[in-house]
Amino acid sequence: MPTERRNSGVTRTPGLNQLHAIDAARGIREGLFSSEELVQSCLDHVRAVDEKVCAWAFLDPEHALRQARAADEWRLEGRAVGALHGVPVGIKDIIDTHDMPTEDGTVLHAGRMPDRDATLVARLREAGAVIMGKTVTTELATYAPGKTRNPHAPDHTPGGSSSGSAAAVAAGMVPLAVGTQTNGSVIRPAAYCGVFGFKPTFGLISRHGVLRQSRWLDQIGVFARCVEDLALIAEPLIGFDENDPDTRPVARLPLLATATQDPPLRPWLAFVKTPMWEQAEKETQEAFAELVEHIGERVEEFEFPAQFRQAIDWHRTIMEADIAKSFAAEYERGADKLSASLRGQIERGRRVPAVDYNRALDRIPALNGALNELFEQRCDVIVTPAATGTAPRGLDSTGDPVFCTLWTLCGMPTVTLPLMRGENGLPLGVQLVGRRGDDARLLRTARWLVNHLQQPQEDSP
Amino acid sequence: MPTERRNSGVTRTPGLNQLHAIDAARGIREGLFSSEELVQSCLDHVRAVDEKVCAWAFLDPEHALRQARAADEWRLEGRAVGALHGVPVGIKDIIDTHDMPTEDGTVLHAGRMPDRDATLVARLREAGAVIMGKTVTTELATYAPGKTRNPHAPDHTPGGSSSGSAAAVAAGMVPLAVGTQTNGSVIRPAAYCGVFGFKPTFGLISRHGVLRQSRWLDQIGVFARCVEDLALIAEPLIGFDENDPDTRPVARLPLLATATQDPPLRPWLAFVKTPMWEQAEKETQEAFAELVEHIGERVEEFEFPAQFRQAIDWHRTIMEADIAKSFAAEYERGADKLSASLRGQIERGRRVPAVDYNRALDRIPALNGALNELFEQRCDVIVTPAATGTAPRGLDSTGDPVFCTLWTLCGMPTVTLPLMRGENGLPLGVQLVGRRGDDARLLRTARWLVNHLQQPQEDSP
């Protein structure tokens, strides 16, 4: 499908929207097709399917195409291009963009137009990405659902809070999207929608210009349709930002180079049921028993000490106290326009004493210390469910984040891989969790596992 | 006073204890006298005056001399020596030392023997310092006084909480000492005792191995008898420590080199009365009016906006909530062995909601933003009182930290200079405050001011 940009209209190449981002970027770089064609293909697909999926909070096709044409012109002038040159990316609607509204999933912020891009959006633009549009979030990235439906079954939740980002990637409307996770808001929707999700280590990606729920829990994550694409988009996002006090000046992580390597030795995996295991559906429990058997000899079950059960409480203490502060203005201004569940969180959060809050925060290094021992002695990554089961039926809840909470609290890097299906045919995510800072190895192991499981019996996602 | 180490006894050179540290270090380096002679001279002075001052919580003369002899042997072997080689330093008794008890000023920790040195003690040893002994702290570095008296007037407080560090340096028992400041615990005792005190920018010196009151407020500070000595000891203490999450990997600050330079231009000073001005004694107010006049043309009065008044409340909210958590075990185990004032702080701290606590924390960057504007547009440093007046009479209180609170909250670097005296003859400190991170310029300006005021009329400290 070779092409050059023409002045009148654009070649329509069906199926470009289904390309992996890494192939799309290569195709643009090598002149096989233009960014405009790619974006047009995505927009055509949006028009075809989004009425049912409702993934977008804001999408101006002309604005997306303008960015694509600018990217094409830039390339045709022979200038250097970034890793994402011409590739469209969906952005969760709590992440500021200077050229589109950012409404945070609440009528209280309707019409909000930020002056500036969030740091991560600026980094995407530097890497050449086309900012396709803003994807639907739950109310203020908490629990009350937005309008998005699960692309695999419209009467099932897509998960949340990054509902639109997961659904847009799953439905083929965009190859990449960005979301956020304060509890399970990247991994859960990715798992429910059957895409690849990646939440890097706490502090790697700046949250400046992103709606804050909790300084200690908020983390950025990405959605894609293969492991390489997770690395492709995460790598340019990572970096120090003086406006986010929890980012650190560190050497750039070679995520893509590492993720595309084969591991030097076959990885060790620890299957961890976690103390939340009883909350997993029977089907999930059985599927993971089979998965572990299928992986073979280098996976070992490991049981966490009981203290890990309390992680859920510590996480709630921090999150609710932080939400109460972060959304105090919204509560003052229009409590009646907030969902009852969010009002409840805020009201509980107001009663959290600072002493309990700080005690809960102190648990994070202690938990990481215990987890580091596991990584040092027993495994490269942890294998565990991404959610209690497949996406629940109904659109009044976004499902249970219980299988994400511990890893979010600890700030560990985690991916979900769409490697299994439930009896209802819906995707069932396999979550891999790495050691803090060991994001590159996590992605390398994830790619290895995908290949390993696909080799003998075409157990394709 | 040239000498070499001899096997039997040690030459007694009276007055070595009164040397500035920088001269003492040079003397040892050049073989003019030994560390053993210096330490012996300090010990002799301790024996002569400490009965009245009571600056030491722990002091084993033999152990100090053993370190001194080891330093002398090291040098005589021709090996490289650090900036503090052979110079004795007093260490506040909340800072862990592996070879001496650290009892934190409370009977609840009597006999406590840490396994390891605090990071800052390890850094002092690396620089060649002799760890002379442990200096008296108030109860858990809060307000209830220890046994120390003001060397200038034994019925007056030395200030606190770093009471012994300030008094030991003031009384000539040791040329350098280390303390900590969570509110005014370095600057106030330094001012009351008539020595030079320096609390560097928040996060420059590791607090690992130091009794924690508050992650967000605790800061390390140093005591000396001239500005150069403050730079001499602070410089090797500064540096990243993975065990203190608030230290940062930064290039080493050339404190000593900068402090001993003349400013390229005559510095601009902003005289700031602060919203706490009415709490200053009349004598202090008048003395500062005279001082400003005396400094001359490049000092300008500047008034802070009213919001700065609330800094005291924000500081209290953070400090009391943190104290309630930090000393919860002590309260549980022996509330009856804590002072009534500390019990009160803990009990109030327990009632602080996390929302209020986090709101108070959020004020810190806002205040720093406002202060940075002042530094950018108007001045190199701020001039303001170090305390409300000279050391108050009586030993049941350590005086009022109100002139330190704002700068501690904001984590700004601050020094106190013993440039004035009250009508009672006791020292009255002049506090200079610098911009965050601008510690080297602060010390350079401090040295300039000392010289400037001494030149025309021998207004010596």
Which tokens is B428 given?
Answer: 């009255």
- Each as own residue / partner, the long-range contacts of residues A449-458 (CB below 8 Å, 24 or more positions apart, any chain) are A449/A267, A449/A269, A449/A295, A449/A417, A449/A419, A450/A226, A450/A227, A450/A417, A450/A419, A452/A295, A453/A294, A453/A295, A453/A419
Question: Are A355 and B350 in contact (CB < 8 Å)?
Answer: yes
> Comparing C-alpha atoms, which of A234, A219, A105, A261 is closest to residue A176?
A234
Question: Are B354 and A353 in contact (CB < 8 Å)?
Answer: yes
Q: Are A403 and A386 in contact (CB under 8 A)?
A: yes
Name the β-bridge partners of A134.
A58, A91
> Comparing C-alpha atoms, which of B226, B239, B137, B227 is closest to residue B178?
B137
- Nearest-Cα residue of chain B relative to residue A243: B365
Name the β-bridge partners of A56.
A135
Q: Are B192 and B107 in contact (CB under 8 A)?
A: no
| pLDDT value of residue B2 | 40
Q: Are A141 and A345 in contact (CB under 8 A)?
A: no
Question: In this complex, is the C-beta atom of A357 within 8 Å of any C-beta atom belonging to chain B?
Answer: yes
| pLDDT value of residue A6 | 42
| pLDDT value of residue A447 | 97
Question: In this complex, is the C-beta atom of B117 within 8 Å of any C-beta atom belonging to chain A?
Answer: no
Question: In this complex, is the C-beta atom of B357 within 8 Å of any C-beta atom belonging to chain A?
Answer: yes
| pLDDT value of residue A348 | 98
Amino acid at site B356: D
| pLDDT value of residue A461 | 39
Q: Which residues in chain A come in under a pLDDT of 50?
A: 1-8, 457-461
SS3 (DSSP) at A286: helix
DSSP code string of A384-403: EESSSSSPPBBSS-----TT
Nearest by CB to B357, from A328, A349, A354: name it. Answer: A354
Question: In this complex, is the C-beta atom of B358 within 8 Å of any C-beta atom belonging to chain A?
Answer: yes
| pLDDT value of residue A8 | 45
pLDDT above 80 (res B107)? yes
Largest CA distance in chain B: 66
B449's CB contacts (< 8 A; 6+ apart) are: B267, B269, B295, B417, B419, B430, B432
SS3 (DSSP) at A383: strand
Question: In this complex, is the C-beta atom of B452 within 8 Å of any C-beta atom belonging to chain A?
Answer: no
pLDDT above 80 (res B337)? yes
Separation CA B381–CA A402 (nearest Å): 52
Question: In this complex, is the C-beta atom of B217 within 8 Å of any C-beta atom belonging to chain A?
Answer: no
* Test mutation, A347, A355, A356, A363, chain B, max B CBs within 10 A: A355
| pLDDT value of residue B456 | 55
SS3 (DSSP) at B244: coil
Separation CA A385–CA A403 (nearest Å): 7
Count other Cβ atoms within 10 Å, centred on residue A144. Answer: 19
Question: Are A352 and B356 in contact (CB < 8 Å)?
Answer: no
Question: Where does the pLDDT of residue B8 fall: very low under 50, low under 70, confident under 90, or very high at 90 and above?
Answer: very low
| pLDDT value of residue A460 | 40
| pLDDT value of residue A1 | 40
pLDDT digit string, tens, across residues B33-92: 999 999 999 999 999 999 999 999 999 999 999 999 999 999 999 999 999 999 999 999
Q: Are strands B196-199 and B414-421 parallel, antiparallel or unpaired?
A: antiparallel
Question: Where does the pLDDT of residue B1 fall: very low under 50, low under 70, confident under 90, or very high at 90 and above?
Answer: very low
User: Which of residues 301 through 340 in chain B touch A, CB cutoff 8 A?
Assistant: 321-322, 324-325, 328
Q: Which domains does chain A have, with CATH numbers?
A: 16-259 (3.90.1300.10), 269-457 (3.90.1300.10)
> Comparing C-alpha atoms, which of B263, B258, B262, B209 is closest to residue B234?
B258
| pLDDT value of residue A60 | 98
pLDDT above 70 (res B9)? no
| pLDDT value of residue B3 | 44
Separation CA A307–CA A304 (nearest Å): 8
For residue A351, list chain B residues with Cβ-Cβ distance below 8 A: 353
The distance of A321 to chain B (nearest Cα, Å) reads 6
> Comparing C-alpha atoms, which of B139, B140, B123 is closest to residue B131?
B123
Nearest by CB to B351, from A328, A353, A357: name it. Answer: A353
Q: Are strands A88-92 and A176-181 parallel, antiparallel or unpaired?
A: parallel
B337's CB contacts (< 8 A; 6+ apart) are: B106, B107, B108
For residue A322, list chain B residues with Cβ-Cβ distance below 8 A: 354, 358
Q: Are B414 and B435 in contact (CB under 8 A)?
A: no
ipTM associated with this complex: 0.86
List residues of A with catalytic annotation.
Answer: 92, 161, 185
- Nearest-Cα residue of chain B relative to residue A351: B353
Q: Are B326 and B214 in contact (CB under 8 A)?
A: yes
| CA distance to A80, A124, A132, A404, B21, per residue, from B126 (Å) | 49, 45, 56, 45, 16
SS3 (DSSP) at B73: helix
- Nearest-Cα residue of chain B relative to residue A326: B355
Q: Are B125 and B151 in contact (CB under 8 A)?
A: no
Question: Are B350 and A352 in contact (CB < 8 Å)?
Answer: no
With 0-12 CB in 10 A as exposed, 13-18 as middle and 19+ as buried, what is A65? Answer: middle
- Nearest-Cα residue of chain B relative to residue A245: B246
Nearest by CB to A355, from B325, B355, B358: name it. Answer: B325
The distance of B79 to chain A (nearest Cα, Å) reads 35
| pLDDT value of residue A456 | 55
Question: Are B325 and A352 in contact (CB < 8 Å)?
Answer: no
Q: Are B139 and B102 in contact (CB under 8 A)?
A: no
- Nearest-Cα residue of chain B relative to residue A216: B358
Question: In this complex, is the C-beta atom of B369 within 8 Å of any C-beta atom belonging to chain A?
Answer: no
| pLDDT value of residue A22 | 98
List residues of B with catalytic annotation.
Answer: 92, 161, 185
- Report the pLDDT averaged over residues B400-420: 97
- For chains A and B, CB pairs below 8 A equal 56
Q: Are A420 and A191 in contact (CB under 8 A)?
A: no
Which tokens is A42 given?
Answer: 């995505």
Q: How far is CA B358 from the centre of its chain?
A: 28
SS (H, E, C) A274-285: CCCHHHCCHHHH
Question: Are A353 and B356 in contact (CB < 8 Å)?
Answer: no
Question: In this complex, is the C-beta atom of A350 within 8 Å of any C-beta atom belonging to chain B?
Answer: yes
* Test mutation, B214, B314, B320, B325, chain A, max A CBs within 10 A: B325
**Cis peptide upstream of residue B161 (ω within 30 degrees of 0):** yes
> Comparing C-alpha atoms, which of A203, A168, A202, A162 is closest to residue A186?
A162
- Nearest-Cα residue of chain B relative to residue A358: B325
| pLDDT value of residue A250 | 79
Q: How far is CA B268 from the centre of its chain?
A: 25
With 0-12 CB in 10 A as exposed, 13-18 as middle and 19+ as buried, what is B110? Answer: exposed
> Comparing C-alpha atoms, which of A415, A413, A414, A419 is closest to residue A452?
A419
With 0-12 CB in 10 A as exposed, 13-18 as middle and 19+ as buried, what is B355? Answer: buried
Question: Are A354 and B359 in contact (CB < 8 Å)?
Answer: no
Sign of the torsion formed by the C-alpha atoms of A197, A201, A203 and A205: negative
* Test mutation, A244, A314, A325, A368, chain B, max B CBs within 10 A: A325
DSSP code string of B180-225: EESSSTTHHHHHHHT-EEEEPPTTSB--TTB--S-TTT-EEEEEES
Nearest by CB to A321, from B324, B349, B354: name it. Answer: B354
Separation CA A107–CA B346 (nearest Å): 42
User: Which of residues 48 through 107 in chain A touch B, CB cutoff 8 A?
Assistant: none
**DSSP conformational letter for A423:** T
| CA distance to A145, A148, A281, per residue, from A54 (Å) | 12, 5, 28
Separation CA A151–CA B228 (nearest Å): 69
> Comparing C-alpha atoms, which of A39, A177, A191, A26 is closest to residue A95?
A177
Separation CA A24–CA A16 (nearest Å): 8
